[in-house]
Amino acid sequence: MLDAMPVLLKGLQMTVLITIISLAIALVIGLVFGLFSISKNKLLRGISTVYVNIIRGTPILVQILYIYIGIPAVTDIRFSAFTAGIIVISINAGAYLVEIFRAGINSIDKGQMEAGRTLGFSYGETMRIIILPQAVKRMLPAFVNQFIVSIKDTSLLSVIGIAELTMSGQSIYSANFRAFEILTVVGILYFIIIYALTLVSRWLERRMDVS
Amino acid sequence: MIKIENLKKSFGKLEVLKDINAEVERQEVVCVIGPSGSGKSTFLRCINRLEDPTGGSIYIEETDITDPKNNINKMRQKLGMVFQQFNLFPHMTVLENITAAPKRLKKKSQEEAEEIGMQLLKKVGLAEKAKVYPDNLSGGQKQRAAIARALAMEPSIMLFDEPTSALDPEMVGGVLEVMKDLAKEGMTMVIVTHEMGFAREVADRVIFMDGGYIVEEGKPEEIFDNPQHERTQAFLSQVL
């Protein structure tokens, strides 16, 4: 059992790495397309809607296979499994974050935008200085929820051979046949990082409440 | 100072402002009165283009603000605005509310901005509330803080959109006092209000609006004591 730990921890490391990189990208995607979705420009709104609907309307497993196997089958574009994994988790989480950003920004009273604009701030400055700081605070629980979903989604990347936590577990028990023990440890490791994230988010929420 | 020509504004099929022509002189205090739905708030919000006019022109110190070529953000710095619902920024202290714009838009240093901020807070009687968040202020205090925030950009014109309508009666006086002081200092002001006593006392000119038109305008005593138009008479008999 102990022999398995280094491999599992390596897998955990991969899971965390992919999650962090992907969520950083997803936050940018979510913010940009979230702003598109509330813009006055019909084209931008349309792009955002199509993106969100396609991603939400298809299973993430299909998206993984599509990027890693589907696209290379008809084009010269090839991704490493790692890159493909990050692309899929990013655009998948990004689509859900678009909705979170849209709802969060819309929840701020429109008088805030008007007050910012009448002082002479541009739309972008008002967003950055006045609207987003208030909106992000309200979005925090939804963010954390999506982060947790995304961490768990990375386990599906095992199908394209990324040695993340689940894949690492599979490779061990297929050699030593201790599936029960190994999968229990795998489950516990997922639980620990997700629970740690939950605690961090509660702490963050408390801290933001003070200000 | 402000010149408005043939201003029209529609929301979809609803025509709120039909044909507004008006002028405001430097240092003049103009009160806009009229029944709800008469278009007076929309009229005020067109002056700083919070609402985009459907037609007509608005000149602020000779510059047409309806012309898309003119930088609206720069123009708005000359136009302070105070809202019925205060619209203070809840994530900033009172002082931060006031210093945010001068620091970023006028490139004032932190110290300089805070010094101006504290002076303004003293002026509106809120110096001891500088470090407090807006949620901890009463309605009247919020509105006075909002006035200080608008003044921090050193506007040449102040627009007030029913500044006392959301306040408890005992809070109204303090806000009106601050506005009277401003008027005495020679600030150019356009005030949409239901406070007829205040309008009579402070306004240089009163504009009565109804149905998207300016029905009648004149000195306060003319409008209040001797209204010419029957709609003005009907409105005043209801509110006075």
Say whether B91 and A115 touch across the interface (CB within 8 A).
no
Mean pLDDT of B94-105: 96
Which run of H or of E encompasses B7? Answer: strand B2-11
pTM of the full structure? 0.88
Q: What is the mean pLDDT of chain A?
A: 94
Confidence tier at A2 by pLDDT (50, 70, 90): confident
Residue B41 has which token pair? 């708030």
- Which pLDDT value is given to residue A59? 97
Point out the least confidently predicted range of A1-15, A55-69, B85-99.
Answer: A1-15
Closest CB to A133: pick one of B83, B91, B104.
B91
Q: What does DSSP say about strands B2-11 and B14-24: parallel, antiparallel, or unpaired? A: antiparallel
Q: How many angstroms separate the CA atoms of A171 and A181, rounded? A: 13
Select from A108, A117, A119 the residue whose CB has the most chain B CBs within 10 Å, as the one to mutate to test that interface.
Answer: A119
Distances (CA, A) of B27 to B59, B65, B148, B186, B232: 16, 20, 19, 5, 26
**Residues of chain A with a CB closer than 8 angstroms to some CB in chain B:** 109, 111-112, 114-122, 125, 129-130, 133-134, 137, 211
- Which pLDDT value is given to residue A11? 94
Among candidate residues B141, B148, B201, the one with its CA nearest the CA of residue B174: B141
Say whether B149 and A119 touch across the interface (CB within 8 A).
yes
Residue B70 has which token pair? 């003119």
- Chain A residues within an 8 Å CB radius of B81: 115, 118
Q: What does DSSP say about strands B213-218 and B205-210: parallel, antiparallel, or unpaired? A: antiparallel
DSSP-H helix ranges across chain B: 40-47, 72-76, 94-105, 110-123, 139-151, 169-184, 196-202, 220-225, 230-239
Q: How many angstroms separate the CA atoms of B170 and B177, rounded? A: 13
**Residue A96 backbone phi and psi in degrees, to 5:** -70, -35
Closest CB to B48: pick one of A118, A121, A137.
A118
Instruction: Classify A46 as helix, strand or coil.
Output: helix
The beta-strand segments (E) located in chain A are none
Task: Give residue A153's identity as a one-letter amino acid code.
Answer: D
Task: State CA A149 to chain mean position distance.
Answer: 8
**Residue B135 backbone phi and psi in degrees, to 5:** -60, -25
Chain B residue with CA closest to A210: the answer is: B91
| Helix count and strand count (H, E) for chain A | 10, 0
Closest CB to A118: pick one of B81, B85, B104.
B81
Q: How many angstroms separate the CA atoms of A61 and B196, rounded? A: 68
Please write the tens of the pLDDT for every residue from A135-185: 999 999 999 999 999 999 999 999 999 999 999 999 999 998 899 999 999
Q: Above pLDDT 90, what percent of chain B? A: 93
Closest CB to B101: pick one of A111, A114, A120.
A120
Select from B46, B77, B87, B105 the residue whose CB has the most chain A CBs within 10 Å, as the one to mutate to test that interface.
Answer: B87
Nearest Cα of chain A lies from the Cα of B143 at a distance, in angstroms, of 13
Q: Are B29 and B3 in contact (CB under 8 A)?
A: no
Distances (CA, A) of B181 to B29, B175, B202: 12, 10, 10
Report ipTM for this prediction: 0.92
Residue where the block lists tokens 């936050």? A27
* Residue B26 reports pLDDT greater than 90: yes
Q: What does DSSP say about strands B55-60 and B29-33: parallel, antiparallel, or unpaired? A: unpaired
- Chain A residues within an 8 Å CB radius of B100: 119, 129
- Which pLDDT value is given to residue A210? 54
Q: What is the mean pLDDT of chain B?
A: 94
Q: How many angstroms separate the CA atoms of B94 and B148, rounded? A: 9
- Which pLDDT value is given to residue B224? 94
B45-79 CB burial, b ≥16 within 10 A, e <16: bbbbbbbebeebebbbeeeebbeeeeebeebbbbb
- Which pLDDT value is given to residue A150? 95
- Point out which residues pair with B216 in neighbouring strands: B208
Closest CB to B85: pick one of A111, A116, A118.
A111
Task: Report yes or no: B88 at the A interface, CB cutoff 8 Å.
Answer: yes
Task: Report yes or no: B100 at the A interface, CB cutoff 8 Å.
Answer: yes
DSSP secondary-structure letter at A61? H
Q: What is the DSSP string of B24-89?
A: E-TT-EEEEE--TTSSHHHHHHHHTTSS--SEEEEEETTEETTSTTS-HHHHHTTEEEE-TT----
Among candidate residues B240, B232, B227, B189, the one with its CA nearest the CA of residue B213: B232
The torsion of the CA quartet A10, A13, A14, A18, rounded to 10 degrees, works out to: 180
- Which pLDDT value is given to residue B170? 92
Chain A residue with CA closest to B160: the answer is: A118
